[in-house]
Amino acid sequence: MSAALTGVAVIEATLATLPGSPGVYRMLNAAGDALYVGKARSLKKRVVTYTQTARLPERLRRMVAETAAMEIVITHTEAEALLLEANLIKKLKPRYNIVLRDDKSYPWLFLSGDHAFPQITKHRGARTRAGNYYGPFASAWAVNQTVNAMQRVFLLRSCADTVFATRKRPCLLYQIKRCSAPCVGRIGEADYARLCAEARDFMAGRAAEVQKTLAAEMEAASEAMAFETAAALRDRIRGLTHVQGGGVINPASISDADVVAAWQIGGQTCVQVFFIRAGRNNGNRAFYPNHASFNEAPEVLAAFLAQFYDDKTPPPLLLLNHKLPEQDWLAEALSVKAGRRVTIAVPERGEKRAVVLHAEINAREALERRLAESAGQAILLEGVARVFGLEAPPERIEVYDNSHIMGTNAYGAMIVAGPEGFERAAYRKYAIRGNMTPGDDFGMMREVLERRFGRGLREGGAEAKGWPDLVLIDGGAGQLSAARETLANLGVTDLPLVAIAKGPDRDAGREWFHTLDGPAFQLPPRDPVLYYLQRLRDEAHRYVIATHRAGRSKKLVGSELDEVPGIGAARKRALLNHFGSARGVKQAGLAELEAAPGISHAIAARIYQFFHQN
């Protein structure tokens, strides 16, 4: 029996017990990995189409041939099926689905509500602290720009509470008119609360009302000949006008919406998303979903939206450049998720159409740039294959480096590059666990490779996704020999290994390349492949140094508090939040320690005695 017939038999056996209700189905291969996740209004009617292989495109025929088992989840509604499908696709990343790879969190603007003088700042992560959250923003740059504008217009503080509590004189932000200096009493609590109320009105879309109020105050101050106050209000009004802007960037007719446009070239798709909140553009971001070349833009866009809003609340309005298949179904599912109505529209005229066209142009240009960069990347990878005698351009290059100070705080790191450039989601860091002799770089390299490839072998080895085509090591012949020995002990003998050694006087451009099957060699100084390999080596070095510094700083900050008996993670965090640093805890008096949240008299006495026992 052929593989295709075997797959059809598996599907037919599943059909015998399938209901006609909505739900989600998963096709699994022999290893239990998900090949495809699909939704259906009627599971029986949808799944039966996979048994008619003559009507399926070649890609789906291959999927049916690989199918060894099926899993079914029945849902109460069609909307529930769509949401579950999107969740499973993001989680499992099946090979035959359109997959959005978006592992980034989105920043928010936060105005705290647990302090007499609220702080305005950028926020990521869980929104558990009391206060007002505004967003999301497309990038840290976009939210930082807004924070700066809010400081200029409303003079709100951005410093942490610990800094606020210890200020003795105004900081530079007060001098450049971006803060009202509540930390040293330059503004009272009631006046500061009024600034915060104006900021909340502005972020809620009532900018015109705020501007009208400021204008009235400026006129009153001018009539009272309080010209300094009038000038300050004038500067705030100018800042507010600048922030509001106008035109396509800040559309007046749109309050809360996401503008989403897809553009296709050569079987690849870019989806551009603009975040508009309270009539302001909170920035935009480009996405490149993985999909088959025959998937049309509306189909890709529909799958993108379902997965994009899997872990975030959709706004009331989505403006698109394509009408979607099953658009009403998606709108219903997003409305269920949001707990209110979500409208999906494809505008044909007016300001909304102009905004969509603007997003579409951005999608087209971003995709054209990406394709141009990919073409250049492909040429470089062909050069790498030529230089190191590989059978084909590498799809995955792994680069390894170590960092330590006299053997302490030792870390190893792996970075990954391929046809799409650096794959930062695949980077890995390794805190060295073994008892190494200080400076034992060979031992560190052995441990890192044992952990990386030992795990890789347990997950399927060369047959599994994520096995490298080329391994680069920062070092010379000694590091190469250690790496070869380590991999040989694991039974990995077919991986191309290359060590990159710095040239004389550590000059960039005179690196020596050590391989397993020939003498060391150098590349011509202006060779583009040499520049590319230097970039890979430098990126690995940057990443491992950053990892080492972060680990060392964490250890330096926490080491003394970790040694105090009875101080666990929660109390240590409370002390650091209250005093600002381990040094602040060390210098605190007994009464100050008792005043810290969660610290009893007995615990305070224990901490004080630990730091002052001599």
Measured distance CA(530)–CA(532) in Å, rounded: 5
Q: Which CATH number fits domain 397-552: 3.40.50.170, 3.50.50.60, 3.30.420.340, 3.40.50.620?
A: 3.30.420.340
Distance (Å, whole) CA 136 – CA 313: 10
* Among 162, 166, 183, residue whose Cα is nearest residue 576: 162
What are the CA-CA distances from residue 611 to residues 512, 559, 591, 596, 599 (Å)?
A: 52, 13, 14, 16, 16
The pLDDT value given to residue 391:
92
Structure confidence at residue 428 (pLDDT):
92
pLDDT tens-digit readout, 385-419: 999 999 999 999 999 998 866 556 688 899 999 99
- For residue 411, what pLDDT is reported? 85
Residues of the chain with pLDDT under 70: 1-5, 103, 239-252, 404-409, 435-439, 462-464, 503-509, 548, 551-560, 577, 580-581, 613-614
**∠ CA 350-356-358 to the nearest 5 degrees?**
105
Say what the pLDDT of residue 404 is. 67
Q: Decide whether 257-368 matches 397-552 in CATH topology.
A: yes
Residues 467-504: pLDDT tens digits?
A: 999 999 998 999 999 999 999 999 998 899 999 998 66
- What is the dotted CATH code of the domain comprising 3-92? 3.40.1440.10
Residues 6+ apart with CB under 8 A from 130: 112, 113, 114
b/e per residue 29-62 (b: at least 16 CB within 10 A): beeebbbbbbbbbebbebbeebeebeebeeebbb
- Where are the domains positioned within the chain? 3-92, 112-244, 257-368, 397-552, 563-612
Question: Strands 317-320, 343-345: parallel, antiparallel or unpaired by DSSP?
Answer: parallel
Q: What global pTM score does this model have?
A: 0.71
CATH architecture of 257-368: 2-Layer Sandwich (3.30)
User: Contacts from 611-614 at CB under 8 Å and sequence distance 24+?
Assistant: 611/560, 611/585, 611/586
Give Dmax over CA atoms of the chain in angstroms: 96
How high is the pLDDT of residue 1? 43
Instruction: Render pLDDT for 238-261 as a digit per residue (tens, 0 to 9).
Output: 766 665 554 445 566 788 899 999
Strands 470-474 and 397-405: parallel
Q: Which tokens in the block code for residue 453? A: 């490839």
- C-alpha span between 83 and 310 (Å, rounded): 7
The separation between the first and the last C-alpha atoms of the chain, rounded to the nearest angstrom, is 83
Superfamily of domain 563-612: 5' to 3' exonuclease, C-terminal subdomain (1.10.150.20)
Strand order in the sheet with 23-28: 34-40, 23-28, 69-74
pLDDT tens sequence across 319-350: 999 999 989 999 999 999 999 999 999 999 88
pLDDT at 614: 47
